[in-house]
Each structure stands twice: as C-alpha cells, then as structure tokens.
Structure 1
Amino acid sequence: MRKLYLFDFDGTLTYSDTMFLYLKFYNTTKFRIQFVKHIPLFILLKMNLLDAEKVKRSFISSILKGQSKSKIEKKSQQFFDQYYPDIFRENALEFIKNIDHSHTDCYIVSASLGIWVKPFAEKFKMNLIATQAEFKNDIFTGNFVGKNCNGAEKVNRIKEEIKDEKYDKSIAFGDTSGDQEMLNWANEGQFKFFH
C-alpha cells in the first residue's frame, strides 16, 4: 500500500513558529530593531487589515536581504544543530521515526522559507515543499520565488510536485487555518494530531 504523508512544519511538528526563532538566531541585534519597526504591521495583520505574505516578506527581507546564499545556508545548518531535536514535539519525532519509507512518500509542506527548513527535512528523509527565497548572483533579493506556500498554494505545490503519482492513501497533518486546504485535499486530514 503506497502512502503519501504531508506534514505542515511550524506548530505541527514543532512547538512554535521557526521564522522568528531563525531570524533572531541569524542576527539578534537586527532582529530586535526590525521587530520593533514591524510592530505596527504585526498589529494590522492581527486585525486582518494587511496581507500576511507582504508582512512576512517585509520582515524576512529586513533581516536577510543582501545576504549571500552560502551564509544563509551555513546559518541554517547551525540553526539545525542548535535546535534539533528540542523544538520538536516528542510524539511527532516518534511518529516520523516509525515511517516505513519503502512504501511511503513524505513531504514537509511549509510556509516557512525552505532554506532554513531544509536541514530538518533532510534529517527526516523527507522531500520539501516550502516558500522559496529568491537569489540573484547568490544574493538574497528579499523577494520570494512564486507565492507564499500557504493555504490553497500548499495544494497547488503538492499537485505540481507529485504530478501523476498514484497513492492508495494520502494523509495530511496541520495545525492552523493555513493548512485547511491541504487537510481537505488529502484522503485524511489530521488537525493538531501531535499536540
């Protein structure tokens, strides 16, 4: 029986969102300054008066724009070394450890930037579908390639990735409204399964 497992990352497998954690780890001083500057945007976002993708891009860009791909990748590896396995829910790690990869294709489907989720995906022997950072001449432009991988975009990207692969069963795991479309699309949607 061939299975497809789709895991949201932040909050589903981890205890909290990795974006703030990673950006703070990347440059604490810059993070603090930019966080304060972005507070008005975060408030408007909470009131649903701003688009989440714009705020997210602005905040990530304010810290990482102009940085080289190699430095960001190096920092992502250090981030992994420091925070794995502490930020993960124990029962999620237990579940992942027991996956039979010979009959199962596994994907992390994340709105976070793939660049800092990648070391975790590799550790779990999973494919990665995530929001992609745009690099020009190996320098981060502050933009994303395509859309923020959230909501309906998660399903679009999954379909693009698996193309005509046939599975007997697909199971998705998520914990927020941004995962709802993915949970509905799969044969089985597990909400807050590891909580």
Structure 2
Amino acid sequence: MKNLYLFDICGTIYRSNTTFDFLEFYLKENKRFKLYRTIYKSFFWKIINRALRSWLHYDLTRTLALRFLKGTSYSELSKQAKLFTEVYLSQVRNIEIYNTIEHLISIDKSKVILVSATIDVVAEAVADSLHCEQYYSTALEYKDGVCTGKMVKDLLGNKCMFLNEQGILHQIKSFFTDDLTDTDVLEYSEIKNIVCYPKTQKRWIKLIAQKKWEVAMLEY
C-alpha cells in the first residue's frame, strides 16, 4: 500500500543547496576554501562540472569541496550543522512545504521520510528541527569519529536505486522535489509535487508533457 510521504531537502524544504551553503557557513574563515570557492564559481569550471554530471553522473565540485572537512570530528560537524540550520536555513524555508511536513508529522510521523543528497550531518540537523524520525542522505566517511573528507554513500542521482534497496520505492504516496534528477523516483509516486523555480520551469514543463503526468506545481 502506498502510504509514505517523501521530501527532498535542497531546493524543496529550503531555497538552498544545503551542502554548499553549509560548507560556506562553516569554512567562511578558511582561506583555501575561499580560493576553491572562487574557482568552482568560475564559468569554465561550471561548464566542465556540468558535463561531468551529465555524462558520468559525477559531481567533481562537490567531491573536492567535501575534502575540506577532512580532519574534523563528527561531533564538531554535527554541532555546526545544527547552528547552520538554526541561523541560516530557518531564513530560507519554503514555508508551504515546511508547514506541510509539520502537519503530516503531527498526524503520523512514521509516514514522513526526508530523502536527500545533502550530507548526513545537515540532514540529521534538518530532521531534528522538524522532529522527523526518518531520513536518508549522503553519508560521509568517519574513522575514529573523524571525517576523512570522503563519502561512503552518495544519494546524488541514486535515490531511486537506494529507495528500492530499502524496500520502500513502491510505497510512495506523495513525493515533493525540485530536482530534475528525481524523475525516476517521481515515476513511482502516486502524487507528484514539483517545486518549480524560474530556471527549471521550461525543462519541467517539457518533461511533464512527455510523461503525461498530473502534478501539483509549486512555484518559487
């Protein structure tokens, strides 16, 4: 029976790429990261990374950015992620969706799941802020409680396969996302809720027409 309500985090619950916004929040005084930030925001780097994501489903920018967390303890990252959620993310909520999650959790929290490619400490902090007991995210690697700067599980572009492995792919009543790479998950959702921003609107409209989907379109 389809009875689960799934929510993406980045761009959906918040108007934020929460992984990169967290890195910029936490590493704001790190000179090496500031230099890297200048590089990855350059036009030519974006072109290269976009090609890698399209052809190989590999985000070089993200992989290298996470290396800056190497040597930081899980407890420190967790503390900073909670502060980031309180100070920054609270200001960029998509209020309608945030309120929808709170309402669903108040009715039956067992049916609400956050599923996101954001890193684990951020997903955990977001879940805690919403009193949501279930979440799936990209997992960083830790050795003796210290981050290695690498990932042991990456949900970027892999949500459908992961949800299938968890045995819940066919139980999705409703899925909320803004991410075009979540198309495969939307196929399995009875109710499709798409958070649409101006930069992706044309692509969503084309995709919806091709799929002949009935969707709830939420514009921001």
Report the TM-score when normalising by structure 1.
0.85
Specify the code of the residue in structure 2 equivalent to 1:45. N
Q: In proportion to residue count, which structure has more helix?
A: 2
Identity score, percent? 23
Which amino acid in 1 is paired with 2:136?
A: I
Runs of 5+ in structure 1 lacking a partner?
A: none
Q: 1:137 to 1:8 in 2, by over 3 A?
A: same
Pairing partner for 1:87 from 85, 92, 100: 92
SS of residue paired to 2:13: coil
The equivalent residue for 1:142 is 149
C-alpha distance in structure 1 between counterparts of 2:181 and 2:138, whole Å: 13
Is 1:98 matched with 2:103?
yes
CA contact 1:57–1:143 (8 Å) conserved in 2: yes
Distance 1:29 1:164 in 2: 41
How many residues matched?
A: 189
Q: Kindly indicate whether residue 117 of structure 2 is the aligned counterpart of residue 114 of structure 1.
A: no
Aligned to 1:130: 137
**1:5-42: CA deviation from partner (whole Å, max 9, x where unpaired):** 11111111111211221111101132322212434543
Which residue, 167, 177, 180 being the options, matches 2:180?
177
1:95: how far off?
1.2
1:75 aligns with 80
Moved more, 4-13 or 84-93: 84-93
Q: Cα offset for 1:104? A: 5.2
How far apart in 1 are the matches of 2:168 and 2:101? 25
Kindly provide the CA deviation profile for residues 82-139 of structure 1, in whole angstroms up to 9, marking residues without a partner as x. 1242111111122122215437511111111021121111222321111100001111
1:165, distance to aligned residue in structure 2 (A): 9.7
Match of 2:161, SS? helix
1:29 maps onto 2:29 in alignment: yes
Q: Secondary structure at the match of 1:94?
A: helix
Query: Aligned residue for 2:49?
Result: 45
Detail structure 1 runs of 4+ shifted over 6 Å in the superposition: none
